[in-house]
Amino acid sequence: MSDWFANVDWSEIAQASLDTLTMLGGSLLLTILLGLPLGVLLFLTSPGQVWQNRAVSGVLALAVNLLRSVPFIILLIVMIPLTVLLVGTSLGVAGAIPPLVVGAAPFFARLVESALREVDRNTIEAVQAMGATTRDLVFRALLPEALPGIIAAATVTAIALVSFTAMAGAVGAGGLGDLAIRFGYQRFQTDVMLVTVVLLLVLVQFLQMAGDRLVRHFTRR
């Protein structure tokens, strides 16, 4: 057993796993906090909705598409000054979180918007016809109705973030992906590669299962 994994430093693996989980947890939380309101705004300002506004919706859509079209590795580097401003460093786990959030929030916002679009038109009208304010409409109807879709969106986003964290190794963020690149790829340590990939697979599998279970729990259709 120890021969097969001769190059594997298990304490380093543990630290990398912890780094990955910290980056994932921190960036997912902030992505949801930022992306959810952005997604709701994208939806509300789109044509036919209560706040329909071509200018606002156009600017938001452009900003979202712009951020989504920048490859994450480029975003990491371009954002360095902003990252330093926000968290005081562009390195390590803390330095990786701002670009992870900026990369994932627009993506999540788009998914939230499309989940909101699935809410039945008659349902929205019915709630408006009751004399609801826009706040009532969002919190009492749109978000509860779209909750399964939003959870599914968060699951997809979390998994995308896992692969983003691997790239964050490029700014010295650490984590499993970083380990896979530095040891597994650059030093041909296949055993390290294998261990990290298996751990990432377990993480992704866990996220998907947990997400699916929550979606089922909240689906009443």
Partner 1 sequence: MIRLENVHKAFASGHAALGGVDLEVARGEVFGIIGRSGAGKSTLVRLLNGLERPSTGTVSIDGTNVSSLSGEGLRTLRRRVGMIFQNFGLLSSRTVFDNVALPLRIAGADKARIAERVPELLARVGLIDHGGKYPAQLSGGQKQRVGIARALATGPDILLCDEATSALDPETTRSILTLIADLNRELGLTIVLITHEMEVVRQVCDRVAVLHAGRVVETGSVAQVFLDPKAAETRAMLDEGSDHAAPIAFDGPIIRLTLRGDAILQPVLTRIARETGTDFAILDGRIGRFKDASFGQLTLGLTGGDTAAALAALRQHGEVSE
Which spans of this chain sit near partner 1 (rule: CB under 8 A)?
A: 47, 120-133, 136, 140-141, 144-145, 147, 218, 220-221
Give the number of other Cβ atoms within 10 Å of residue 213's Cβ: 11
Min dist CB 63 to partner 1, Å, is 24
Residue number, 45 or 189, with CB nearest to partner 1: 45
Report the alpha-carbon angle 39-42-48, nearest 5.
130
Residue number, 1 or 129, with CB nearest to partner 1: 129
Q: Hey, is 173 helix, strand or coil?
A: coil
Three-class DSSP labels, 67-98? HHHCCHHHHHHHCHHHHHHHHCCCCHHHHHHH
CA–CA dist 185, 164 (Å, integer):
17
Min dist CB 13 to partner 1, Å, is 42
Across 62-97, b (16+ Cβ under 10 Å) vs e yields eebeebeeeebeebbeebbeebeebbeebbbbbbbb
Min dist CB 174 to partner 1, Å, is 40
Residue number, 3 or 120, with CB nearest to partner 1: 120
Min dist CB 221 to partner 1, Å, is 5
Structure-token match 């921190």, residue found? 26
Residue number, 93 or 138, with CB nearest to partner 1: 138
Min dist CB 89 to partner 1, Å, is 43
Residue number, 40 or 195, with CB nearest to partner 1: 40
